[in-house]
Structure 1
């Protein structure tokens, strides 16, 4: 699929929002990508995951992992299509960890997935968990990369949608200077 087709679907599903947003990273932006609007539709989720996996067809993948909450459904669908297991990390006392009895077998080839990246913080935390468990990350799959492909995890990274979306530290935010109300959508903000 072409980027224009992906963007059209994102807009149709109201997964691209415009306004003044506080991102998970704490930065501010005038555009927010809400992949939960995509993940509620199994057909589109399956299509997007299928597009991601096409790029990885030559990789051996034993396990798929994603951070809660954005990566859970993507990990499940990728694992379903690959015929492997899916697990997820979650925060416990502010630290990304495996819970619920999840384990990563030593030397397992692992695909890490995430819905949206801005700074890559959650993905880096998941990479650390996989490494500590003795797994080997062979690829990263993203639904949306807000850096326009500039983020580098030093691991092959595949993206469904990639566009550089400017974000600002709160003290340098032009939207704050215009007194435009900032909202924090998503899993750690307003509903």
Structure 2
């Protein structure tokens, strides 16, 4: 699957949004990835995650782990492709941890996955959780890399598609200068609802 094919799936499912967005960092951007909108379709979720897992076939991955919430479905489908177990880490009192009885055997090889990587913070937190639990991080992967090539997890990293993250300080934002209202993703639907996408 080529990068263009991946982006076409994101576009047809409304997962790649174009407009004027206020990011968590306070910066503004003209593009936002809402992976939940593509992962709601099992067919695409399975297809994308199978591609994501492909480079790790034959590497004796025993567990695929992701952060809640964005990494849960990605980890599940990647684990299915690798015939591995699936677990997820979640925040408890603000700290990423394993709950729900999830455990790792000493030295168990783990692939850490995420939907979108920008700064890589959530992935690093899951890496730390895995290592504290005795696991061995064999690699990392994400559906979308928006880090501009800056993330380094110290282990192999694979992304299905790399999309440069263009963002602006509010006072320098050309979208603001054009009078376009900024939308905080999740606060309202910035794109029209999509029906079942055509293949």
Q: TM-score, normalised by structure 2?
A: 0.85
What's the counterpart of residue 111 of structure 1?
Answer: 111
Q: Give 5+ residue unaligned stretches, structure 2.
A: 190-199
Contact 2:65 2:110 in 1 (8 A): yes
Deviations 1:6-64 (A, max 9, x none): 11111111111112223345543210011111111111111111111221123110111
- How many residue pairs align between the two structures? 189
2:183 alignment counterpart:
183
Moved over 6 A (4+): none
1:21 maps to what in 2?
Answer: 21
Query: For each residue in 1:132-159, what CA deviation from the matched residue of structure 2 results, as whole angstroms up to 9, or x when unmatched?
Result: 1111110111001112433221210111
Across the aligned residues of Structure 1 and Structure 2, the Cα RMSD in angstroms comes to 2.0
In the other structure, the counterpart of 2:146 is 146
Matches within 5 A, 1:27-66: 27-66=27-66
Q: Distance in 2 between matches of 1:125 and 1:25?
A: 18
* 2:97 aligned partner: 97
Aligned to 2:130: 130
Q: Distance in 2 between matches of 1:63 and 1:166?
A: 34
Query: Contact 1:149–1:163 (CA<8 Å) still a contact in 2?
Result: no
Unpaired runs of at least 5, structure 1: none
Distance 1:172 1:152 in 2: 29
Aligned to 1:85: 85
Q: In the TM superposition, what is the alpha-carbon distance from 1:128 to its structure 2 partner? A: 1.0
Q: Partner of 2:71 in structure 1?
A: 71
- CA separation of 1:83/1:117 partners in 2, compared to 1, >3 Å: closer, same or farther? same
Alpha-carbon distance, 1:176 to partner: 4.8
Residue 140 of structure 1 aligns to a residue in which SS? strand
Moved more, 167-176 or 29-38: 167-176
Call closer, same or farther: CA 1:102–1:50 in 2, change over 3 Å.
same
CA distance in structure 2 between the aligned counterparts of 1:179 and 1:65, rounded to whole angstroms:
42
CA pair 112-190 structure 1, distance change in 2 beyond 3 A: farther
Q: Answer whether contact 1:70 1:115 (CA < 8 A) is retained.
A: yes
